[in-house]
Amino acid sequence: MFKFFENLVDPYADYPEKDTPPQTLFAFLSDYARPFRKLFVWATIFSVLVAMIEIALIGYMGRIVDLLAGEPAEVWVAHGVELVIVALLILFVRPAIQALDVLLLNNAILPNFGTLIRFRAHNHVLRQSVGWFENDFAGRIANRIMQTPPAAGEAIFQIFDAMAFSVAYFIGAAILLSDSDPRLVLPLLGWVVLYGLLVRWTIARVGPASQRASDARSQVTGRVVDAYSNIHSVKLFANDKREVEYAKEAVEYARETFQAEMRIFTVMDVVLVALNGLLIVAVVGWAVWLWMIGEASVGVVAAATALTLRLNAMTGWIMWALTSFFRQLGVVAEGMETIAQPIDLVDASGSKQLVMQDGKIEIQSLSHHYGRGSGGLDAISLTIKPGEKIGLIGRSGAGKSTLVKLLLRFYDAEAGCILIDGQDISKVTQNSLRDQIGMVQQDSSLMHRSVRENILYGRPEASEEDVIAAARKAEAHEFILGLEDAKGNKGYDAQVGERGVKLSGGQRQRITLARVMLKDAPILLLDEATSALDSEVEAAIQETLYGMMEGKTVIAIAHRLSTISRMDRILVLDDGHIVEEGSHSSLLEQGGVYAGFWERQSGGFLNADEVEE
């Protein structure tokens, strides 16, 4: 039975991805709720039925009080069948309806609704560009992905568990009282008006207060995760206290926003108790007065008393449910600041798959300044022949990394274009472009997974033999066999820790190299690929790298000039322009910038300060 309800909606079903999600709160929730609409209708129906049954029970208790005024034997003879039928309804029909209500809500809607939002939100965020991620805390992004689904689920829960139930209950209560004596409805209606005003006052303040508190919590998460992710720097510079103070600012702001939120609830509670007292005195007092003047039976007084006491108990719950609903909407609204952001770098309409032929790269009047008007690249034009190996050098900020990022289409160029085998990369799909490019970065961070999974990231369908072969080429196989993590996993099964923190820089770099070797893409980008290796390992891997370059178009960035001296052509970038190009020997003969770099090297690295002078 549980499985039936749990499988009524598939949270992972295919859906049309939107580059620009709905930007208003209810449109955003409605879009995610689309697969659940039929279930919402049924949940509303059963929630109303549950409320009506509760009202009917209270009304029937009043009838029983009146029946008990007669002789027992006569009551049983006259009403025995009726009492048995009511008992059976209470024993069997009421639980069945209640069961269907909670099965729909607890098993069909809530688990799947939150899962659907989290899955689709994560999918949407992963489609954002690298630049988008560079402008925010990873911790804050993750926090919003994690807290928005349960908040949305809680809001949906309150709609059916409290709001639909309470509306139906109030209507049923009014019908019951009017059926007993229409005058009993008047104090109830007056109370409903006052209660509505309190709800309105509370809701107007809870939503914004909750959004501020939620944003403050995300800020705390962002700062804390930032410190944990950079724990080596924190310890290296002995900045534990500084990080604590930095987090304390956010923690204190979170406390202040939470205090402001709780003040609203305190006022609400106090006023609600006063209103409920008014309800009890007004309805029960009036019922007793009607009984005293002979215009109401004892059963009417009993039903009115039971109903108002039940409403007294319910109103606090309903108010908390309503405020919880709007609090959760505040959390969702805060999460929308991340989840509902439009994709800032999309595939062009009608984009096709990149078709690799020779690996020729043409760069035409390419400019990109990150929206600042300076820095980056300025009108670069360059043709890289199929299979040609290009070295890029230049001081920091010269534009080397910008060129690589534009080639990978991590950003869209502000002017100019890049062609691969005659195809404009802005008009092909991003995934097909990056499938054809292998890259080894200076920052050799790894996934917090096993060694095997990290190497397979280059080609997930590769065999175990291919993984080991790639590791051997990267001079990584021997040290991998000696790895063991805290859980006892060994070798290729060992976990490498967050960003590969359990490994040395050289070990991380060799696993990164193995991953790219396994990918075996026709275009190869190397950004300080051997910078983290010691001289002995670098010498061994250099030969492997040059072997891996055979038949590929290669762009290599290096400060250690010896690593690119064998390239077919070397480009010297400065202030976004190509100022020199040629082979290593021809550039030395020119006696220009490159020759100056070579002369000023210390330990094989470019001395940026001397170069700038």
pLDDT for residue 361 is more than 90: yes
Residue from 309, 407, 249 nearest 61 by CA: 309
- The rounded mean pLDDT for the chain is 85
The structure's pTM equals 0.76
Which pLDDT value is given to residue 429? 93
The two three-digit tokens of residue 174, written as one number: 């009014």
Which pLDDT value is given to residue 533? 63
Which pLDDT value is given to residue 68? 77
Task: Answer whether 330's CB lies under 8 Å from 207's CB.
Answer: yes
Q: Which of 68-77, 245-254, 288-297, 439-448 has the highest mean pLDDT?
A: 245-254
Which pLDDT value is given to residue 360? 93
Give the contacts of 158 (CB within 8 A, at least 6 positions apart): 321, 322, 324, 325, 328
Least confidently predicted of 199-208, 295-304, 525-534, 573-582: 525-534
Task: Answer whether 256's CB lies under 8 Å from 248's CB.
Answer: no
Burial class (CB in 10 A: 0-12, 13-18, 19+), 208: middle
Task: Answer whether 41's CB lies under 8 Å from 159's CB.
Answer: no
Name which residue leads in pLDDT, 446 or 88. 88
Mean pLDDT throughout 108-118?
92
Q: How far is CA 335 from the centre of its chain?
A: 8
The two three-digit tokens of residue 30, written as one number: 């409605």
Q: Tell me the sheet residues that pair with 580.
A: 572
pLDDT for residue 211 is more than 90: no
Spatial distance between the Cα atoms of 84 and 89, rounded to a whole number of angstroms: 9
Burial 152-174 (b: 16+ CB within 10 A, else e): bbbbbbbbbbbbbbbebbbebbb
Mean pLDDT throughout 142-160?
86
Q: pLDDT tens, 498-546?
A: 777 788 877 888 898 899 999 999 999 988 776 656 666 667 667 777 7
Burial class (CB in 10 A: 0-12, 13-18, 19+), 387: middle
Give the contacts of 508 (CB within 8 A, at least 6 positions apart): 444, 445, 446, 496, 500, 532
Q: pLDDT tens, 420-430?
A: 999 999 999 99
The two three-digit tokens of residue 146, written as one number: 């994690």
Spatial distance between the Cα atoms of 557 and 312, rounded to a whole number of angstroms: 73
Q: How far is CA 191 from the centre of its chain?
A: 43
pLDDT for residue 163 is more than 80: no
The two three-digit tokens of residue 586, written as one number: 């021809």
pLDDT for residue 14 is more than 50: yes
SS percent in the chain: helix, strand, coil, step 5: 65, 10, 25
Which pLDDT value is given to residue 612? 41
Give the contacts of 605 (CB within 8 A, at least 6 positions apart): 559, 560
Please tell me the total number of residues recorded for the chain in this structure: 613
pLDDT for residue 491 is more than 50: yes
Give the contacts of 537 (CB within 8 A, at least 6 positions apart): 475, 506, 510
Residue type, 338: T
Task: Answer whether 490's CB lies under 8 Å from 549's CB.
Answer: no
Task: Answer whether 10's CB lies under 8 Å from 115's CB.
Answer: no
DSSP string spanning 252-312?
Answer: HHHHHHHHHHHHHHHHHHHHHHHHHHHHHHHHHHHHHHHHHTTSS-HHHHHHHHHHHHHHH
DSSP string spanning 419-433?
Answer: EETTEEGGGB-HHHH
pLDDT over 90 percentage in the chain? 30
Spatial distance between the Cα atoms of 500 and 562, rounded to a whole number of angstroms: 28
Task: Answer whether 353's CB lies under 8 Å from 433's CB.
Answer: no
Residue from 287, 289, 309 nearest 300 by CA: 287
Task: Answer whether 158's CB lies under 8 Å from 325's CB.
Answer: yes
Least confidently predicted of 126-140, 310-324, 479-493: 310-324
Which pLDDT value is given to residue 570? 92
Q: Residue 597 in 3-state DSSP? A: helix
> Kind of pairing, strands 361-368 and 415-420?
antiparallel
Spatial distance between the Cα atoms of 19 and 342, rounded to a whole number of angstroms: 6
φ, ψ for residue 364 (rounded to 5)? -120, 110
Which pLDDT value is given to residue 100? 94
Q: pLDDT tens, 212-270?
A: 888 888 888 888 888 887 887 788 778 888 889 988 999 999 999 999 988 988 888 88
Give the contacts of 337 (CB within 8 A, at least 6 positions apart): 144, 215
pLDDT for residue 446 is more than 80: yes
Q: Residue 522 in 3-state DSSP? A: coil
Q: Which domains does the chain have, with CATH numbers?
A: 11-339 (1.20.1560.10), 353-436+522-613 (3.40.50.300), 446-520 (3.40.50.300)
DSSP letter at 498 equals G
> Kind of pairing, strands 523-527 and 437-440?
parallel
Q: How confident is the model at residue 608 (pLDDT cuts 50, 70, 90)?
A: very low
Which pLDDT value is given to residue 420? 95
Which pLDDT value is given to residue 353? 93
Q: How far is CA 64 from the centre of its chain?
A: 55
pLDDT for residue 82 is more than 80: yes
Mean pLDDT throughout 149-177?
81
Spatial distance between the Cα atoms of 217 and 210, rounded to a whole number of angstroms: 10
Interhelix angle 164-180/185-229, nearest 10 degrees: 170
Task: Answer whether 602's CB lies under 8 Å from 609's CB.
Answer: no
Interhelix angle 535-549/505-519, nearest 10 degrees: 10
Interhelix angle 298-339/37-67, nearest 10 degrees: 160
Sheet containing 377-384, strands listed edge to edge, beginning at the edge strand earlier in sequence: 377-384, 361-368, 415-420, 423-424
pLDDT for residue 610 is more than 50: no
Which pLDDT value is given to residue 531? 64
φ, ψ for residue 265 (rounded to 5)? -70, -35
Spatial distance between the Cα atoms of 588 and 215, rounded to a whole number of angstroms: 57
pLDDT for residue 604 is more than 70: no
Name which residue leads in pLDDT, 404 or 300. 404
pLDDT over 70 percentage in the chain? 95
